[in-house]
Amino acid sequence: MIVLEVTVFLLVAAAGTAVVLTRNPVNQAIVASFYGLVLGIMFLVYQAPDVALSQITVGAVALPLMILLALAKVRALEGSRRRDDDR
């Protein structure tokens, strides 16, 4: 049990660090989704299934999705801006 806990803790620390060090936001959203999942697993280890369920639905799915959508929008804006410049 202890081994499992330590592994999960270190995985969380590593995944969180990876999220910060991934500088490209699109890749970062995907790493963040993985981080959300790892956190969810950690909360299961903590005997907090309610929290784990929230964390997985929000941290691993909804939030990364919102990030990707926001980025898509920014790219679309950039595209239309470039086209305006070309004219």
Partner 1 sequence: MRFLPYVVAAWLLLVGLYGIVTSRNLVHAIICLSVAQSSTYILLLSVGFRRGGTAPIFLDVPVGTRAVDPVVGALTLTDIVVGATVSALLLALAVQAHKHHGTLDPERLKPERD
Partner 2 sequence: MTPRLRRRVFLVAAAVAGAWLLWGLTGLPDYGVYNGPYGDVLNRVAVAERKATNVVASVTFDYRGVDTMGEEYILFAAVLGVATLLRAQRDETEQPPDEDAADRHAPATSNAVRVIGLGLVGPVVLFGMYVVAHGHLTPGGGFQGGVVLATGALLVYLSGEYVTLRRVSPEVLTDAAESVGAAGYVAIGLLGVVAGATFLTNVLPLGRPGALLSAGTIPPINLAVGLEVAGGFVLLLSEFLEQTLVIRRPGEVT
Residues that bind partner 1 (CB under 8 A): 2, 6, 9-10, 12-13, 16-17, 19-21, 23, 25, 28-29, 32, 35, 39, 42-43, 46-51, 54-55, 58-59, 62-63, 66-67, 70-71, 73-74, 77-78, 81
Residue 19 near residue 29 (C-beta atoms within 8 A): no
To the nearest whole angstrom, how small is the minimum distance from the Cβ of residue 5 to partner 2? 9
Q: Which does 79 bind (CB under 5 to 8 A by kind): partner 2, partner 1, none?
A: partner 2
Q: How far apart are CA 53 and CA 77, in angstroms?
A: 35
Sign of CA dihedral 40, 16, 64, 29: negative
